[in-house]
Structure 1
Amino acid sequence: MLKLIRTLAILMLLCFASFPKATEAASLYEHQNTTVSATQTVEDVVVIGGDASIAGTVTNTVVIVGGDVRVRSSAHIKGAVVIIGGDLILEDGADVTNDVVNVSFDSATVNSLVLGSGLMIGYGAVKLAASLLMLILPVLIVLIGKRKADAFLDRYRHTPRGKLFAAGFFTGLMLAAVSVLLLLSIVGIPFILLVVLLALAALSIGLTIVSQTLGDQIRGTADKPEWMRAGAGAIMIVSAMNVPFVGGCLFLALLTYSLGIAMSWTVSKLRRR
């Protein structure tokens, strides 16, 4: 029995020795120079910080980061080839049946990445600052204004919203037309800044009214100070404004409503005079 087992083992070793060249591997993940010989078949090749020489078969993807890749004439790559920070050397006869993506880190690419990163960081910083400002402004207006703010807020909280939105819509169109005319001359730029400041002032008032109205609808805030109710409403508004697309629509609606309040207040003052 032992002799039979030993004989079978020797035969198996001889069989493997007679086919030493064909190699199967699931994937190759290396941090050094890597070679896939002509007799190898692998699923994926991922090399970081080294070069790759592929002469065999890759059934999926080849990814090279920080190195070059040479695809030999005997190579068969059935997936995509992605090179980041390196070069592709493709010999005649090589079979690459999918896309080749080569991202080089030259000066133009680096400058683009730096510029894009800076814009993203700057946009995030501006968005964060605007969110904090929208949280603080309603609370400050209610605290500082006291009785005058209360009378003003109560007056426009009970004004028909449709009327205010209509007035704000036409006011926005008028301000946009005036701004376009002012842009045609350099002298008009300071006036555009003044228009923007007035719109921001109107927006802060409209934000305070909406925040306090929403704060009154929250359970458990009936016995709270007005500034706390305004802060709770502002949190709801800012949270909704940070939702993509919904936030933009909400901001335009709030701006239109605020401009309507500003126009209504201006008309009432002119009538009194």
Structure 2
Amino acid sequence: MVVHGHDTTLPVTLDEMLVHCRAVARGAKTPLLVGDLPFGTYESSSNQVVLMRVRAWAVDTAVRILKEGGMDAIKLEGGSPSRIVAAKAIVEAGIAVMGHVGLTPQAVSVLGGFRPQGKNVASAVKAVETALALQEAGCFSVVLECVPAPVAAAATAALQIPTIGIGAGPFCSGQVLVYHDLLGMLQHPHHAKVTPKFCKHYARVGDVINKALLEYKEEVINGSFPDAHHSPYEISKIDADVFSNELQRLGLDKAASAASKAVQKMDLTKSIGEGNQTK
């Protein structure tokens, strides 16, 4: 969602997810790697015939996340009966599953946006019961997103598996944040509007990136970059002369002149730079 500039996670495809999974798997050799099942790859129905097909589809998707994506486990969102069935089927296929309750980004159209959950009795009880149902289905962990801290504390105490909090207070077993958010990487006005309230900026990397890009742009425009120091690949004087003559033989007089002038300019720039260093 963040990397691709989407407003929600809904447009993300399985093929896109696999690209990210493989990239992470190549670089992160030690951590437990969990890949999200994208929206539309494991949803189910109460119709028994459809339910059987979607169970198989969910398992097939999870298998691809592990085999093609290099992940150790998968994560799916929600706790409706059909989601519980999907989670159980994937676990029975020998694949570790992480659940996700509270604010489930793939259900924003039903939730009315990125809205916190568990703010009233019914919603709070539902969050705990859903987490317990996911545990019963065989999940090894549950993400608790955007729920009040007491609700997260209750769910963590009720479960025998770890909880991972994001906007769920300090009482979860572990914590997670989107690193673009915690590093302050994205300065786009749209993203600034939707940056979660629960996220602490540990840096303003976006400001540093913007400053560097503006400096680069300015130096390219005024011609100070790239200079001789950053043009390290040389052709000898003899080869440069032969090259220029060969270009003239081919009728490329303009190219020959440009090459000769470039040699002169690079030599001049280099001599000036060496002179400054001796000072």
Q: Indicate the TM-score class for this superposition, using the shorter chain for normalisation.
A: under 0.3
**Rg bigger for which structure?**
1
Q: Which has the higher helix share?
A: 1
Q: Which has the higher strand share?
A: 1
Where relative contact order (Cα < 8 A, 6+ residues apart) is larger, the structure is 1
